[in-house]
Structures are given as structure tokens and as C-alpha cells.
Structure 1
């Protein structure tokens, strides 16, 4: 006899981040700021990291604090000696770390072959490797270790790019380290999953009017995707932040996944 499901069987308890510590590395930029705004509304305790734009970070902090949000700032490049540990230490002053999203990176714009020397290309590749892979990876791994030490479940979200999951012309310097980050996230999900209950996932944004793609959108680089109806519109920071929030959900059952937020561009182009 087939068992009949009834509505009373399903328990959709709220999985709120209110009062929970969330670290947003590179969180003062467009995508990070949108995520910070969303989490602040929910009552999360935020530590926002930034590399150099202190004015922008302080403006974001001020706006969020006007709505009684708890927002702390930390300045520093993730690849500076001791900075990863400092991020973790500062987060611990707010309480147990249960969520982290890493927006840190560098767009590493491509140059024409005529304008690029082998030496310059090597320098760009090395710079991108540190900014787009090594720093974010080391922070993600250290945060996962901290969550294990705390004995708490947690969620880590790494921000990649659609260029990490599909080929685009002249994108190697930027896309290759991001693709490495995608694979590293899967490895971390494997290593820290199971009974540790620490989820590690990736969000790969497409063409958005905020974040690293904003300059390319303004220059008309992706206009033909709109004209040919490959995508219905350009993405917004809110599109990405909602997915990040989903993956940060406490006790999430999602791990080791890559969610591409690109309006179908990599599917239909």
C-alpha cells in the first residue's frame, strides 16, 4: 500500500542567520555589498574584508549600521603574510564563524597580443593566480578548519565566474585561476563534509551590472548577447546575492556544487 504524504509531515523551519557570524571577504564591492545588505537585513553579524578601498568600505558600513546592523571591517590583502589568520581571528571576536563568502579577486583584463610581451603575460598570470586562487583558497580552507575546531556546522561560498565553466576569448589569465578555485572548492567540500557538516560551494556570476563585469558591460562588450536574445537582460547584484544567501543557509544540504548565475548565457551562446 502506497503511503500518502500529508502537509503536516513537512517541517519548513526557518533557517535564519540572525545573530550568526558571517565573513565577507572582498565584501565592499558591488556583489559583496549587495550580499552584505541582504544579510544585514536578516540580522547577521558581519565582518567585511577589503583590500584597499577603505572609503567605499566605510560608506557601506555606515549605511548598514544606520539600520542597527552589526558590521565590522578588516583591511588587508589575503596574500599578505598573516592576513588569513587575522581574518579568522577578527571573525572570532564576534562569535563562532558559521558562514563565509569570498568575493576577493582581480579582473586581470586581457591585453592585445601586440601590446603584450612574454614577461608581461607571465606577470599577469602570476598576479591573477594569487588574487583569484591562492588567497581565496587559503582563506576558505582555514575557515573550514576553524569551523571544525568550533564543532559547528558551516557554509563557505567562493565566487568564481562564468569564464571558469565555459571558454571565452582572451580569458586565460583570469579564468584559469578561477577554474582552479572551482575544483578546489569541490575538494574542500569532500574533505570537510560528512559529519563535519561544512558545505563548500561556488557561485559563478555571468554578465552583471555590478562587480568585475560592470566595466565590460559599460563598454558594450556583451551587448550582442542582448541583441541576439541569448540572455533576457543583464544580471544584477541582487541576482547573485540571493544565490549566495541560499548557499549560506545554516544546515544546508547542498555542497560541492557550482551554480552559474548568467541568465543562460553559457547554455545558449
Structure 2
């Protein structure tokens, strides 16, 4: 009998933390399905890095808040075989500022559509595909979920608190089915998500470790939660935040 490979779907895999997760998983024997929103060239670069590591890869342009796109993503993944893992990484920050000053309500609604509804839609399909075989889901939350992000994006923090709750609820719901559900909550990481490119430098001064994190440091935590070493871990929210 051949060795069964891990097949993991990663949303928001075309850049930043998602790209680092894809390449790290490839190095650990995962075939990777890269969901991305808009930048096909960047997603293709990630795909090439995954393949250079000896793994198979697919790229799928999609919006996690669109149920039809989510179905397309997982239908494409099925071409590689039965999926074993999902990383719900796709997320957006939305407008920055004090809540009283925010005028674009649609932009706030979009944050919840991507960060909460998108997580639920992807998890729902992954659960259906994993039924009877087991698997693992890792959601990406944020240290903001417990810090609240006052003056910057309370709405984003609230959406990530919802991800924490989804993680705990699904871990309890799916444990009997052999599906583990965990969460990584990054602190301030050097990625393009920041409206102010210098924000990581400003926040780093407050962290006990004295610096912002790198995407690869988050990828390592995700890889561990998907690995056999975490076989007794479910419902965990692993904070990777430099001490904040």
C-alpha cells in the first residue's frame, strides 16, 4: 500500500502568513491547495515554492465569503484526493480608526463576512469532506481578540474573538468524529495587512520580546497543530504574539 499524503487547504495562501504556511506545510509532506483572492501572480509563486519542496499544489481564485467559491475550492482540492486538513487563514482588517468615526458600514460588514462567515463556510465543507476519516482544522485568530484594539479596529478584534469561539465550539462538536480544531492567534507580524507599514515597529516596542514576528513563526505553530505531535490537542488557542 502507498503512503497516504496529507492534503491541506489553505485560504488566503497567496501572501504573508498564508504563503509561509503553504511552504512550511509542503516541507513537512503536505500537498497544498492555495486559495487566494486576487493576485494570481503571487499565488503562482507560492505554488512554485510548494512544488519545489516536492509537494503537489493547486491554486484557486476565490472569496471565502462566497458559498459557491468555497464549494469550488474544495471541489478542486478533491482532485488531489481526500483532504486531511484546513487552515482558515484568509482575513481582512477593514477600516482603521475609532468606531465613532467609521462611516463605511459596508466595509465593517465585509470584515465579518470574510473573517467569520468565511471561516464557518470553509469549516462546514471541510467537515463534510472529513466525515468518517478524521482530520484537522486550524483557524487563524489574532491577539486582538482579547486586547480589543481600541482606537484602531474594534470591529476586527470582535471578528477574531468570534473565530476563537468557533474554534472552541467546533472542537467539542467534532471531537467524537476524530476531527481536531485548533487556533493560532498571532500578534503583530511583518505582513502587508497593516494600513501603516511602520505599525509593526511601533507595536514591537510594547512586546516583551521587543520585536514584531515573522510569518514563518506563525507557520511553525500551524504546522505543529496539524501534525501527529498535536494528536491530543483540540480546542486550543495558541497565542504567538511575543508576549502581548
TM-score normalised by the chain length of structure 2: 0.90
Q: Corresponding residue for 2:108?
A: 125
Report the alpha carbon displacement of residue 102 of structure 1 after superposing the two structures with TM: 1.2
Displaced runs of 4+ in structure 1, greater than 4 A?
112-115
Cα RMSD after superposing both structures: 2.2
Which of 158, 169, 181 lines up with 1:187 in the alignment?
169
> Are 1:209 and 1:237, in contact at CA under 8 Å, matched by a contact in 2?
yes
Alignment partners' CA distance in 2, 1:35 and 1:157:
11
Which of 124, 132, 142 lines up with 1:141 in the alignment?
124
Q: Corresponding residue for 1:26?
A: 12
Q: Corresponding residue for 1:162?
A: 143
Alignment partners' CA distance in 2, 1:137 and 1:113:
25
Judging changes above 3 Å, is the alpha-carbon distance between structure 1 residues 67 and 240 closer, same or farther for their aligned structure 2 residues? closer
Structure possessing the higher radius of gyration over alpha carbons: 1
Q: Corresponding residue for 1:61?
A: 47
Which of 86, 90, 100 lines up with 2:86 in the alignment?
100
Which of 209, 212, 230 lines up with 1:234 in the alignment?
212
> Are 2:108 and 2:155, in contact at CA under 8 Å, matched by a contact in 1?
yes
Q: Corresponding residue for 1:260?
A: 239
Instruction: Indicate the larger mover: 107-116 or 133-142.
Output: 107-116
Which of 24, 31, 39 lines up with 1:45 in the alignment?
31
SS at match of 1:21: strand
Alignment partners' CA distance in 2, 1:168 and 1:259:
19
> Are 1:205 and 1:260, in contact at CA under 8 Å, matched by a contact in 2?
yes
Whether 1:173 and 2:173 are equivalent positions in the alignment is no
Query: Which segments of 5 or more consecutive residues in structure 1 lack a partner in the other structure?
Result: 1-16
Report the alpha carbon displacement of residue 58 of structure 1 after superposing the two structures with TM: 0.9
Judging changes above 3 Å, is the alpha-carbon distance between structure 1 residues 138 and 30 closer, same or farther for their aligned structure 2 residues? same
Alignment partners' CA distance in 2, 1:23 and 1:235:
24
Alignment partners' CA distance in 2, 1:246 and 1:221:
25
How many residue pairs end up in the alignment?
240
Judging changes above 3 Å, is the alpha-carbon distance between structure 1 residues 70 and 260 closer, same or farther for their aligned structure 2 residues? same
> Are 1:24 and 1:102, in contact at CA under 8 Å, matched by a contact in 2?
yes
Judging changes above 3 Å, is the alpha-carbon distance between structure 1 residues 159 and 45 closer, same or farther for their aligned structure 2 residues? same
Alignment partners' CA distance in 1, 2:101 and 2:147:
26
SS at match of 2:193: helix
SS at match of 1:193: helix
Instruction: Indicate the larger mover: 45-54 or 203-212.
Output: 203-212
> Are 2:181 and 2:234, in contact at CA under 8 Å, matched by a contact in 1?
yes
> Are 1:31 and 1:211, in contact at CA under 8 Å, matched by a contact in 2?
no
Report the alpha carbon displacement of residue 225 of structure 1 after superposing the two structures with TM: 4.2
Report the alpha carbon displacement of residue 190 of structure 1 after superposing the two structures with TM: 1.1
Q: Corresponding residue for 1:4?
A: none
Alignment partners' CA distance in 2, 1:202 and 1:77:
21
Query: Which segments of 5 or more consecutive residues in structure 2 lack a partner in the other structure?
Result: none
